[in-house]
């Protein structure tokens, strides 16, 4: 039994690759035990180990075991402690920067390929229908929560707009009162300056009058004393 062409609805290499990655993503990383995201550089591993091996391929760094034993335990908690032992574990498990050769599938015998599981058949079926394994998602409770949240947000926005209008009104009234007060203050200062200037002028006039009076009194006293001296002799 031969696999038909992809145009006839048969399994293509890209579909098999997607299937393998989907299956691998449900397993653990063979290097550190974290959740794997597929097959990377030839082995099933997580994004952390994938990025670590990619950086090593790009930079070709030389690492040294931190403990000096070359046998550090590499798991989820200790994978970042010793880069040397982590790299050795990656290499020993088959990680490689060489591209993997994809064998042609068109001429392969279908009986020689592993049979897909029921879940894999459902995932590969382009006409997958709803069934008990994949019940329809009831979005009504979420829609009600969204509507309730939207109503609450709308109410808050309305209160904010009301507060903004009240604040604007109070602010406008305050600015108007402030402008009126500044005008009254300016008129008061002008009148005060005029009054102080008039008071200063009056003070100077009084001082001048007093000075004139004192001068006249001195002259009068001098004249009186002169007359007294002449009559006496």
Residue percentage of the chain with pLDDT more than 90: 22
pLDDT confidence of residue 105: 46
- pLDDT for 9: 43
Residue after which a domain boundary falls, among 47, 82, 97: 97
Q: Is the pLDDT of residue 10 over 90?
A: no
DSSP output for the chain: -BPPPGGGTPPPHHHHHHHHHHHHTTSB-TTT-SBP-SEETTEE--HHHHHHHHHHHHH------SSSSS----STTTTTT-HHHHHHHHHHTT--SSPPP----TTSBGGGSPPPPHHHHHHH-TT----SSSPPP--HHHHHHHHHHHHHHHHHHHHHHHHHHHHHHHHHHHHHHHHHHHHHHHHHHHHHHHHHHHHHHHHHHHHHHHHHHHHHHHHHHHHHHHHHHHHH-
For residue 16, the model assigns a pLDDT of 55
* 128 falls within a domain: no
Cβ proximity of 26 and 117 under 8 Å: no
Q: How confident is the model at residue 148 (pLDDT cuts 50, 70, 90)?
A: confident
pLDDT at 53 over 90: yes
Same domain? For 227 and 160 the reply is yes
The answer to whether residues 228 and 143 belong to one domain is: yes
92 is a domain residue: yes
**% of the chain exceeding 70 in pLDDT:** 69
> Quick check: is 214 in a domain?
yes
Q: Give me the chain's average pLDDT, please.
A: 78
Q: What is the mean pLDDT of residues 75-98?
A: 90
The total domain count for the chain is 2
What is residue 1's predicted lDDT score, i.e. its pLDDT? 36
pLDDT over threshold 60, residue 17: no
pLDDT tier, 4 (very low <50, low <70, confident <90, very high otherwise): very low
Asked whether residue 13 carries a pLDDT value surpassing 60, the answer given is: no
pLDDT band at 143 (very low <50, low <70, confident <90, very high): confident
Banded pLDDT at 124 (limits 50, 70, 90): low
The parent domain of residue 81 ranges over: 25-97
Q: Which of 67, 97, 127 marks a domain boundary?
A: 97
Residue 6: predicted pLDDT = 39
State mean pLDDT over 95-119. Answer: 59
pLDDT of residue 230: 57
CATH number at residue 62: 3.30.50.10
CA angle 85, 87, 90 (to 5 degrees): 110
Res 118: pLDDT: 62
Query: In the predicted model, what is the mean pLDDT of residues 37-62?
Result: 91
With respect to residue 5, please indicate whether it lies within any of the assigned structural domains.
Answer: no
Confidence label for 21 from pLDDT (cuts 50, 70 and 90): low
In a domain, residue 109? The reply is no
66 phi and psi angles, rounded to 5 deg:
-70, -30
Residues 150 and 223 placed together within one structural domain of the fold: yes
């Amino acid at each position: 039994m031969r696999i038909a062409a992809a145009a006839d609805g048969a399994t293509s290499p890209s579909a098999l690759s997607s299937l393998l990655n989907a299956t691998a993503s449900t397993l653990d990383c063979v290097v550190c035990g974290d959740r794997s995201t597929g097959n990377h550089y030839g082995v099933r591993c997580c994004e952390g180990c994938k990025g670590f091996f990619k950086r090593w391929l790009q930079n070709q760094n030389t690492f040294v075991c931190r403990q000096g034993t070359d046998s550090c335990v590499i798991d989820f908690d200790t994978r970042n402690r010793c880069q040397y032992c982590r790299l050795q574990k990656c290499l020993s498990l088959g990680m490689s920067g060489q591209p993997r050769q994809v064998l042609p599938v068109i001429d392969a015998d279908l009986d020689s390929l592993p049979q897909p599981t029921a879940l894999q058949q459902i995932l590969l079926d382009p006409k997958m229908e709803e069934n008990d394994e994949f019940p329809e998602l009831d979005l009504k409770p979420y829609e009600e929560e969204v509507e309730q949240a939207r109503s609450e947000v709308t109410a808050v926005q309305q209160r904010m707009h009301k507060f903004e209008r009240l604040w604007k009104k109070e602010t406008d009234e305050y600015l108007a009162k402030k402008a009126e007060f500044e005008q009254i203050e300016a008129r008061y200062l002008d009148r005060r300056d005029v009054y102080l200037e008039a008071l200063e002028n009056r003070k100077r006039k009084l001082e001048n009058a007093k000075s004139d009076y004192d001068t006249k009194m001195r002259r009068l006293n001098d004249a009186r004393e002169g007359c007294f001296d002449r009559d006496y002799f």
